[in-house]
Amino acid sequence: MIRAGIIGATGYAGNELVRILLGHKDVEIGWVSSRSYTGQDYAGIYQNFYQIVDLPCRGEELSALAEEVDVIFTATPQGYLASLVSEEILSKVKIVDLSADFRIKDAGRYEEWYGIEHKTPQFLGEAVYGLCEVNREKIKEARLIANPGCYPTCSVLSIAPLLKKGIIDPASIIIDAKSGTSGAGRGAKTDNLFCEVNESVKAYGVAVHRHTPEIEDQLGYIAGKPVMLNFTPHLIPMNRGILVTAYASVARETSDEEIRAAYEECYDNEQFVRVLKDGICPQTRWVEGSNYVDVNVKLDKRTGRVIMMGALDNLVKGAAGQAVQNMNLLFGLSEAEGLRQPPMFP
């Protein structure tokens, strides 16, 4: 059995990790950790685990905790892991980090967008960006995984097939994205109160959202050259889900058949990316609670642009599910182990 530990287990992503790992036949949860709830019973914080999880919340002494498990998931604020990770720790345990600390390879770029100093830039080159559909082979050999952000996962998977084929102009990409409120975390914030969110939709982080450089970097690797784009997220009054609608101008003459073939070729062997039938638009309700991403595409011949669409659950494929998918690859397991649950509806 693989022994796993979760630092930041009392956040929404940490809670989802616990739920998924409980159903994983090859994993035992060794401990859960939380700075805010140290010493409290985990099932007293999340009562859905009453009589299921009998663990107290440990503190966040990373070096000591690493002695007890084979893999650590860090569902923590930006800067936590970067301030503590060391060669000694990585020699003991594999780490899947759900923060942004190791997603951006340029420490200066990270510091510019996140406003904090990167304490361990020496590990940036080693860390593997954990988008399994793109970096599968690199992930298998890694010690440190940078689990992708929810918006970048949906954006990159929605756009990648046409970028890879050179069908769209990278300089013309615009991404309009919408997320449920769980994406903002569990912390008490006025902007996330029911009365503030309900019956309203708003854009936020306009032109400054921190996932922008992550999306640009990953699409740039696929395009083979730097990408600069517009990314605008919106908050929707629902618990879970991300919907991305991305636009780009075609770079050359193309057809509906070529565009569709690009998606089918790219994702034909991918269990968790579903290319929908022609004319069917992705919806968050059909991926909720699952590790699936639904994508589709439409060529607008009138304007010479392509509309690329994707939907996922921000807490599963956008966070915890993808982290488990990465863990499976790290330990040579079936990539889908523990993640085969179909989407739940209603």
Q: Do 214 and 104 contact (CB within 8 A), yes or no?
A: yes
- What pLDDT sits at residue 191? 84
Average pLDDT of the chain is 97
Q: 116: how many CB neighbours lie within 10 A of its CB?
A: 14
- Which amino acid makes up residue 150? C
Angle at 236 between CA 231 and CA 238, to 5 degrees: 135
Q: Which of 150, 154, 195, 266 is catalytic?
A: 150
d(CA 285, CA 289) in angstroms, rounded, equals 9
What pTM value is reported for the model?
0.97
- What pLDDT sits at residue 197? 92
Biggest alpha carbon distance in the chain? 62
- What pLDDT sits at residue 142? 98
Beta strands 242-249 and 128-129, pairing class = unpaired
- What pLDDT sits at residue 117? 98
d(CA 294, CA 273) in angstroms, rounded, equals 6
CATH class of 151-313: alpha beta
Domain boundaries, the chain: 2-126, 151-313
- Model confidence at 269: pLDDT above 90: yes
What are 296-308's pLDDT values in tens digits?
999 999 999 999 9
Fold of 2-126: Rossmann fold (3.40.50)
d(CA 97, CA 156) in angstroms, rounded, equals 19
Average pLDDT over residues 202-213: 97
- Which amino acid makes up residue 263? Y
What are 82-113's pLDDT values in tens digits?
999 999 999 999 999 999 999 999 999 999 99
- Which amino acid makes up residue 188? A
| Letter string b/e over residues 75-84, b meaning 16 or more CB atoms within 10 A of that residue's CB | bbbbbbbbeb
Share of the chain above pLDDT 70, in %: 100
What are 144-189's pLDDT values in tens digits?
999 999 999 999 999 999 999 999 999 999 999 999 999 988 877 8
Q: Label each residue of the chain as H, E or C.
A: CEEEEEECCCCHHHHHHHHHHHCCCCEEEEEEECCCCCCCEHHHHCHHHCCCCCCEEECCCHHHHCCCCCEEEECCCCCHHHHHCCHHHHCCCEEEECCCCCCCCCHHHHHHHHCCCCCCHHHCCCCEECCHHHHHHHHHCCCEEECCCHHHHHHHHHHHHHHHCCCECHHHCEEEEEECHHHHCCCCCHHHCHHHHCCCCEECCCCCCCHHHHHHHHHHHHHCCCCCCEEEEEECCCCCCEEEEEEEEECCCCCHHHHHHHHHHHHCCCCCEEECCCCCCCCHHHCCCCCCEEEEEEEECCCCEEEEEEEECCCHHHHHHHHHHHHHHHCCCCCCCCCCCCCCCC
- Model confidence at 60: pLDDT above 90: no
- Residue 43 token pair: 């099932």
Average pLDDT over residues 309-325: 98
Residue 57: active-site member? no
Length of the chain: 346
